[in-house]
A and B are shown apart, each in its own frame.
Chain A
Amino acid sequence: MKTVVPARAAWSRVIREGETLTITDLHGNQAVDFLVYDAHDTAVRYSAPDTVQAQGGIFLTTGSVLMSGEHTPLMTVTADDVGRHDTVGGACSKESNTLRYGHHTWSQHACVDNFLAEGAKHGLGKRDLVSNINWYMNVPVEQDGTLGIVDGISAPGLSLTLRAERDVLVLVSNCPQINNPCNGFDPTPVEMTIEAAETTIGDAR
């Protein structure tokens, strides 16, 4: 199953255990804000700190396991063309945009609104939003702790693949941010491909 998520849009889907989700950066340097929940108990949800703890680092790539707040696996990165993705920066919001750029950004679209609108379809509310993954977003940390969203290292057509370790609900905001390089200042569409368990890499083990 293939779906193109338009620029600035939200998307969600239940991915069954063993199925894979491939996210393709169609035009390059598109930040894909991503949250994942246990489909049967959404109180069990992605935890950035548990994921960082589990792999001993802040960048995600092949082999990274996305952990829940109960320190249990939700999904595993089974393939990655890019090499690193962000666990630290979280989502843009209308509110944080006023701090980062100024109050003139208040009327712009932002990821938190996408997460709220899409999450509501599944009974999720604001308390269910936590620090999320930003696929394709490049956030280095300098020795003195300075961190920032800088030019991306992705390119048109690069993709990553996630295997569901249980039935999961995935929430995506195809980031509308236009004030920093996370999208190259130009939000573009991405493609979602869900493949059945029997055709996944995991089954080759």
Chain B
Amino acid sequence: MATQTTYGARDHARAQEGTRAEAMPVVPAGNWPDPPCEAGHLVWAETVAGGNYTHRVLARGTELRLTDPHGDACAHLLLYAEGRPWERLNVADTVKVQWNAYLGEGQLLLSDQGRVLASVVVDTSGRHDALCGTSTLVSNTGRYGDGTPQSPSPAGRELFKLAAAKNGLEPRDLPPSLSFFQGVRIREDGTLDFTGSAGPGGSVTLRAEQDVTVLIANVPHPADPRPDYLSTPLEVLAWRAEPTRAGDALWDATPEGRRAFLNTAEFLASKGRA
């Protein structure tokens, strides 16, 4: 198609609509071919390329399912209270308050304000990590020769900086992150045992317990010992659902969690969001 004129260039650009790529958002999300809920409830459907990132604001009660279709995704995740980024994921509180270093079903992702940002409602992978954070420009340059966002081996922190910037946040707003689909265990002497992926098909479903800003970088785990930068696409689906309420099993699963839900409910009630 001729692009030497403005009209031709316009026609050429417009003719691209409908092109399918492996990694892309499906808009509207209801067009996703195999929805895990009523199709009309989907609000986010995207495949994130290996070495790429995404971000979204999710309303309270939204469920977010991350899936590792090929077995080498690693979803590095940060959460912020939407519009109030001074309340954000606190990994130390998340593990300390719940007396558990390992992420899994039933665990709450706690903010630094004694409240719940999201809960883990389904986990079919069991290979996750709350201790090692993500990769950096320095570490990826050392391991793979480059870590810049446009390189073949982008670093998680560099991608988080971009995702943060698109939400009005700066590098100072990036605390330690969580990672899903690549496991780490702690030996008795405190050293790390990288357990890797559970294989293709694992998924994790998070439920937003407040309105949250979600940042996701899909990059290799920093403790992955393999010499190559191996990062396969990550599937992201989110749909309207209900937040955890008093009476749900998760609400009362632990005394610490119950108080976190109570604090969250009271905070929302005082904002007029019962």
**A102 surroundings in chain B (CB, below 8 A):** 259
Interface string of A146-179 (1 = CB under 8 A from B): 1111000000000000000000000000000000
- Check A70/B192 contact, CB under 8 A, given A100-B256, A130-B176, A147-B101: no
**B170 surroundings in chain A (CB, below 8 A):** 43
Task: Check A89 against B92 for contact (C-beta < 8 Å).
Answer: yes
| B213 CB, min distance to chain A CBs, angstroms | 14
| A69 CB, min distance to chain B CBs, angstroms | 7
* Interface-located stretch among B42-50, B109-117, B236-244: B109-117
Q: How far is the CA of A119 from the CA of B235 in the complex (A)?
A: 40
Q: Does A12 contact B (CB under 8 A)?
A: no
Closest to B91 in A: A131
Max chain A C-beta neighbours (<10 A), residue from B99, B136, B170, B223 = B136
What is the interface residue range for chain B against chain A?
35 or more
Contact among B100, B132, B260 with A147 in the assembled complex (CB-CB below 8 Å): B100
| B220 CB, min distance to chain A CBs, angstroms | 12
A residues 12-70 touching B (CB-CB < 8 Å): 43, 47-50, 52-53, 56-59, 69-70
| B257 CB, min distance to chain A CBs, angstroms | 8
Q: Does B149 contact A (CB under 8 A)?
A: no
**B190 surroundings in chain A (CB, below 8 A):** 57-59, 84, 141
Contact among B100, B157, B263 with A99 in the assembled complex (CB-CB below 8 Å): B263
Task: Check A57 against B92 for contact (C-beta < 8 Å).
Answer: no
B residues 170-188 touching A (CB-CB < 8 Å): 170-177, 185-186, 188
Contact among B102, B157, B176, B189 with A57 in the assembled complex (CB-CB below 8 Å): B189
Task: Check B131 against A49 for contact (C-beta < 8 Å).
Answer: yes
Task: Check B85 against A95 for contact (C-beta < 8 Å).
Answer: no
Q: Does A122 contact B (CB under 8 A)?
A: no
Q: Which residues of A come within 8 Å of B, CB atoms?
A: 43, 47-50, 52-53, 56-59, 69-72, 84, 88-91, 93-100, 102-103, 112, 126-132, 139, 141, 143-149
A-B contact pairs, 25 of them (CB 8 A): A43-B172, A47-B133, A49-B91, A49-B131, A49-B132, A49-B134, A50-B133, A52-B131, A53-B132, A56-B191, A58-B186, A58-B192, A70-B157, A88-B95, A89-B92, A90-B96, A91-B92, A93-B112, A96-B96, A96-B110, A127-B172, A131-B175, A132-B92, A141-B186, A143-B188
